[in-house]
Amino acid sequence: MTWTSRQRRWIAGLLAALVAAVSAPAPLDLDVFAGLGRSVLAGRFAEAYAGTFTQAGPLQLVLSQVLSIGAHDGVPHVVTRVLVAVALVLGAMAACRGRASREIAAATLTLLWMTGPLPWHGHPAETAIPMLWAYAMVLHRRGHRLAAAGALAASALIAPVAVLGFPCLLAVTGPVRAARTTLLAAAIVVAGFLPFVLSGSFDMFRHVWPVTPGTVPAMLGLHEATWATRLAQAVVAAGGCALVAWLLRGRPVALAAAPLAAALLRIVTDPVTYQYYWLPVAVASVLLVALLPDDVPVWRQTAVTVLGYTALLAVHADAAGALVCLAGYLLAGCRISEAAAAEVGRVAPG
């Protein structure tokens, strides 16, 4: 049997994913979230948010329980790790639409992220957030507004911070239609949290974060952050996401650049720093490689791949390092030809 070059690439990607899945750390909070997820599935809603610890959405609690099936000492079962690894690598390759250089670049970047501290360090379910943002944009562009609202809502039900990416819709539609879909998504999110609020034990919004030295809030003189501080953060991060989405509206690369802007601006403006905050950055950086237009030279594709891995190396960097990554990504994303922009076409304002 003769294998085509693409089949050989996919087999190589599959084997590499299997190797990468062999070892993994015990994800932060996964055991706790899984226990809360069991409470949710059993209908004991009052237990999920009875204290201020739980800042994840109910969907993440349930997904954490699924990821914990067969876990040992907090480490997900090898079958789970393999399924996730294969899905990430082959999914990245599939997004490249058969372009050899991009398939290799996207698979390589995915493997580099996976063999570093991600995706199992932290909250693995949050890997899905930028995918849901991008999928919502695709659905809305195709006229499926209810489904797009559902995808956005699912991201926020994984982690409420995902509302920062809702302005991504501006890349595929006008402000009025984007606002309507966003309001519908917000209503679905409220409905998702309502059983927990009505349980009488919902303390999520009482949480207070100690401000990490070196962060922007620390530079502004803050020593602790509340949900009111988070609202100010949302204005900056969501506003930056909206600006990038609007500037790149109608262009395929916006499906990655807008989520990337939201993810990186979240890191820049956050009062605390955790490695798993880089999960959405990792996914969006792979999407950016996959969605580069066909006329982008190989050297630029390589440069974007290097930028993606640089972001991983900058996990422990300060806000300035994240800004450098943001500028590099968006510069790579914006420098596309008019022919590539016409591939999708601009959508009339709503």
Say if 3 falls within a structural domain.
no
pLDDT of 278: 81
Say if 349 falls within a structural domain.
no
Place of tokens 């599959």: 14
3-class SS of residue 75: strand
Say if 185 falls within a structural domain.
yes
pLDDT of 329: 59
* List of the chain residues with pLDDT < 50: 336-350
pTM over 0.85: yes
Give the number of domains in the chain.
1
pLDDT of 294: 67
Say if 100 falls within a structural domain.
no
pLDDT of 311: 63
pLDDT of 350: 41
Say if 72 falls within a structural domain.
no
Query: Domain range spanning residue 156?
Result: 106-341
Q: Cα angle at 268 between 141 and 252, to 5 degrees? A: 20
Nearest residue to 169 (alpha-carbon basis) of 197, 208, 141 = 141
Say if 60 falls within a structural domain.
no
pLDDT tens figures, 27-50: 889 999 999 999 999 999 999 999
Say if 237 falls within a structural domain.
yes
Say if 44 falls within a structural domain.
no
Residues, the chain: 350
User: CB count, 10 Å around CB of 156?
Assistant: 25
